[in-house]
Amino acid sequence: MAPSAPRTRAAAALRMKQIVLDNQSRTIRRLRSQLAIERRWLATMKKELEDTQVALEASHKVIAGLTEIGLSMSKKIERMKAKKRQAKESHVVCNQKFQARIQEAEDSIQAQHLIIEALVEEKDSLLQTIQGLQEANDALAPFDDEWEEEPEEQPEEEEIEDIPLGEGEIDDE
């Protein structure tokens, strides 16, 4: 017997629908597999992004800490520079004061030398006047430019006797 045409057509149509369903099923399995792979890849990427975020936050904290340390060091350096500048200014002022004192001392010494020279000249003038007067009076010259040094006398130390005093007694001696 020959198959009937409608039955063969219906079977062919069913067979075609079955092939389409099988193809769709394979496509769905393949897409589900790709979706699972994509989900795993996305989960891995999410984990990596979270790790990167944690590392970035830690890095920002370190940078903030280093910035704070840098600012603190800058302030300390500025204070040290200010102290150094003050010390230098103080040194300059002190040096100027010492130079002024040295100049005053040199001026004072120079003035003293001038006074000494004037006194020596006055002494010479007085000696000449005295010698002139003595020659006019035919007296011996007491000053003959030879100075005799007199020996220095050492005063003898008197021994003080320890005299015991009684209680409440006053010694008027």
Q: How far apart are CA 55 and CA 52, in angstroms?
A: 5
Helix, coil or strand: residue 142:
coil
pLDDT in tens, 78-110: 999 999 999 999 999 999 999 999 999 999 999
Specify the higher pLDDT residue, 134 or 144.
Answer: 134
Report the 10 Å Cβ neighbour count for 130.
14
pLDDT for 2: 53
CB 173 within 8 A of CB 160: no
Mean pLDDT of the chain: 85
Q: Which residue has the tokens 């007491």?
A: 142
N-terminal to C-terminal alpha carbon distance within the chain: 180
Q: State pTM to two decimals.
A: 0.40
Q: What does the DSSP 8-state code read for residue 153?
A: P
Q: Are 143 and 130 in contact (CB under 8 A)?
A: yes
**Domain regions of the chain by residue span:** 12-103
Spatial neighbors of 160 by CB under 8 A, at least 6 apart, are: none
At residue 59, φ and ψ (nearest 5 deg) are -65, -40
Check residue 139 and give its pLDDT. Answer: 60
Quick check: 46 pLDDT over 50? yes
